[in-house]
Structure 1
Amino acid sequence: MAQELERIMARLGLVKRLLVSAAVLCGLAGVSAVAASAPAVSAPAPELAEYRGKLVYVDFWASWCVPCRQSFPWMNSMHQQYGSKGLVILAVNMDQVRTEADAFLKQYPADFAVRFDPQGQLAQQFKVRGMPTSALVDRDGKVLWTHEGFRSKDPTALEQALRKALQ
């Protein structure tokens, strides 16, 4: 499904792609995320409901995702800086083959919780359409915002949003 969507999106112009992405992502804001779950890959990660009271940055990624190679060091940094302030980083892998995810994690280790969701059950709940996609879930389990991609300007803006949400 993701490959088909990528082919369709590639045929659209930039403005149309942005409008489609915005429409998809806007439909998610305010949705409850507390029932979402996926099996653990590395560090044990409880159900999202068990994170109630904490701010959760959920990141959907795949081993083939080039921007994910940049987002992992950034997520490690955010975990180190804000973990003690109530931020939880939860990375959800979408690879069909577990060994591909494991190989990625050897190259780009995660200091945070990682889940494996090859069937895309958790991704469907978050309406993921591309890699990486991230969502910020507030202390009450509501999705505050979602973001698709990871570009050079994103780390600063995302960190500002995290700091604001932690206040």
Structure 2
Amino acid sequence: MSFKRHWLALLLSLLGFSVQAESVKEGQLAPALNLPLLGAQADESMSLEALRGKVVYLDFWASWCGPCRLSFPQLEGLRQELGPRGFEVLAVNVDEFEDDALAFLDAVPVTYPVVRDADADSPARYGILGMPTGFLLDREGVVKRVHQGYRRSDGEKLRKEIVQLLESTE
């Protein structure tokens, strides 16, 4: 899906129109991802491949996303608790301006890796239609759950799914 078509689909979905998008589905291998770390030097990046062997929550977010203010602290807590067992969060920021993302992280700090995709290539490849959208990946990089939006009550449900994946491969 082209960049313009992706953002048109996002706008239409926000306005309540039903939009069919090519999206990554449960059971598929997550598309490759290699992006610069937010606020880092030009040569510092993070790839999804580097996290192979861990259960990963791949979180697409933006500074203007209200539910992201709920999800970030909960994802941080899950990473602190379950990281030693092989869980990682990789957050993909899609803000046009890096300063917006950095200001968000000043207000809602996290210790997990945050990468930046200002061109929105990866959200288009994943078929993202709203923020936040998360993909829970098993240790082989297969999508086990797609999670759109975020509510306070989602944290415990997500924790159970992560623990189940961790236990099935320990």
1:82 paired residue number: 82
Q: Please list the CA deviations of residues 107-163 of structure 1 after superposition, one character each: whole Å capped at 9, or x if unmatched.
A: 001110000011112222322110000001111111111110001321121111111
1:31 partner amino acid:
Q
SS in structure 2 of the partner of residue 88 of structure 1: strand
**Corresponding residue to 2:33 among 33, 36, 49:** 36
Corresponding residue for residue 3 of structure 2: none
Normalised to the residue count of structure 1, the TM-score between the two structures is 0.84
Structure 2 match to 1:61? 61
For residues 101-140 of structure 1, the aligned pairs below 5 Å read 101-140=101-140
The aligned length equals: 159
Q: CA deviation at 1:52?
A: 1.2
Distance in 2 separating the partners of 1:154 and 1:68: 12
Taking a change above 3 Å as real, the CA distance of residues 8 and 140 of structure 1, as seen in their structure-2 partners, is closer
Alpha-carbon deviation of 1:99? 0.5
Residue 150 of structure 1: aligned partner = 150
| Counterpart secondary structure, 1:73 | helix
- Which 4+ runs in 1 deviate beyond 2 A? 1-12, 42-46
After superposition, the CA RMSD in angstroms is 2.2
Which whole-Å CA distance do the structure 2 matches of 1:42 and 1:84 have between them?
Answer: 26
1:72 is aligned to 72
User: Secondary structure in 1 aligned to 2:60?
Assistant: strand
Counterparts of 2:50 and 2:35, CA distance in 1: 13
> Any idea what SS the aligned residue of 1:30 has?
coil
**Inter-CA distance 2–55: structure 2 relative to 1 (3 Å threshold):** same
- CA change 1:159–1:45 in 2 (3 A) is farther
Q: How does 1:91-106 map to 2 (within 5 A)?
A: 91-106=91-106
Q: Which letter maps to 1:10?
A: L
Change (3 A) 1:28 1:104: same
In the TM superposition, residue 4 of structure 1 has moved relative to its aligned partner by: 5.1
CA separation in 2, counterparts of 1:45 and 1:74? 24
Q: Which has the higher helix share?
A: 1
**Is contact 1:36-1:125 (8 Å) kept?**
no
After superposition, the Cα gap between the structure-2 partners of 1:109 and 1:119, relative to the gap in structure 1 and judged at 3 Å, is: same
CA change 1:45–1:113 in 2 (3 A) is farther
Task: Give the unaligned 5+ runs of structure 1.
Answer: none
What code does the residue aligned with 2:32 have?
A
Whole-Å separation in 2 of the counterparts to 1:45 and 1:77: 24
Pair 3,74 (structure 1): closer, same or farther in 2 beyond 3 Å: farther
Identity %: 36
Q: Give the 3-state SS of the residue equivalent to 1:115 in structure 2.
A: strand
